[in-house]
Chains A and B, each alone.
Chain A
Amino acid sequence: AQSVTQLGSHVSVSEGALVLLRCNYSSSVPPYLFWYVQYPNQGLQLLLKYTSAATLVKGINGFEAEFKKSETSFHLTKPSAHMSDAAEYFCAVSRSSNTGKLIFGQGTTLQVKP
């Protein structure tokens, strides 16, 4: 069965510092991996996705993630945090492109301090 684990329910960084949000997945087949962001009182929106092309994926707002099969990881990074990055971030995994099942992690709340 597929699963997603996000390490750390809360991450706090200073403005301008590196953002690193961790995601590890479990999947018996090559997965499709996603990062979504949720701003307060809003629905989720897609940041980036890995679908078996390049292992380093660039997304919106300066975020990127690297798929590492040997580590079963898909960590999200951003070189320099902005106050506007404060939100909840979700990692998600799907077994294939044609399945309807998308499994989300527990979420990580990012706090950005001035």
Chain B
Amino acid sequence: EAQVTQNPRYLITVTGKKLTVTCSQNMNHEYMSWYRQDPGLGLRQIYYSMNVEVTDKGDVPEGYKVSRKEKRNFPLILESPSPNQTSLYFCASTTRRFDTGELFFGEGSRLTVL
């Protein structure tokens, strides 16, 4: 089954404790992206990757890191989480082009930073 898998789905952590949210897709997609969803703000893009070893900032990259060492994986790293990073996070993937591909989303990871 084609899917984007995120882990963990739910996490409560404390300020400053490094964490990683994993994202894996099994569709051989070149493009992957991370979004955060906050009430009233919609989805905001954090980082995206057009291919292996190619990453770029979205609109809200501060406080986050990513890496793309393999095509299927695109982890999101919070080196020193802060309460303003409490949010619902989504990973998504597609073929390289938006006009021919559909963006597939994971089920989301709800993060609370105390």
Q: Enumerate chain A interface residues (CB-CB to B < 8 A).
A: 6, 9, 32, 34, 36, 41-46, 49, 51-52, 90, 92, 94, 97-107
Contact (A90, B42) CB under 8 Å given A46-B102, A100-B49: yes
Are A32 and B98 in contact (CB-based, < 8 A)? yes
Question: Is residue B44 contacting chain A, with contact meaning CB distance below 8 A?
Answer: yes
Question: Is residue B106 contacting chain A, with contact meaning CB distance below 8 A?
Answer: yes
CA distance A54 to B44 in the complex (A): 28
CA distance A98 to B99 in the complex (A): 9
CA distance A64 to B59 in the complex (A): 29
Are A102 and B33 in contact (CB-based, < 8 A)? yes
Are A46 and B99 in contact (CB-based, < 8 A)? no
Residues of A near B99 (CB, < 8 A) are 32, 49, 51-52, 97
CA distance A104 to B34 in the complex (A): 13
Number of interface residues of B (CB under 8 A): 29
Contact (A105, B42) CB under 8 Å given A98-B97, A100-B48: yes
Residues of A near B45 (CB, < 8 A) are 101-104
Residues of B near A49 (CB, < 8 A) are 98-99, 102
Closest A residue to B6 using CB positions: A43
Are A101 and B48 in contact (CB-based, < 8 A)? yes
Which residue of B31, B42, B50, B98 is within 8 Å of A51 (Cβ)?
B98
Contacts A100-B33, A103-B45, A103-B59 known; 7 new A-B pairs at CB < 8 A = A49-B99, A51-B98, A97-B99, A101-B48, A102-B33, A104-B44, A106-B40
Which residue of B49, B50, B98, B107 is within 8 Å of A94 (Cβ)?
B98
Residues of A near B90 (CB, < 8 A) are 43-44
CA distance A6 to B97 in the complex (A): 25
Closest A residue to B54 using CB positions: A100
Residues of A near B48 (CB, < 8 A) are 100-101
A-B contact pairs, 13 of them (CB 8 A): A34-B103, A43-B106, A43-B108, A49-B102, A51-B99, A100-B33, A100-B48, A101-B48, A102-B45, A102-B98, A104-B35, A104-B43, A106-B40
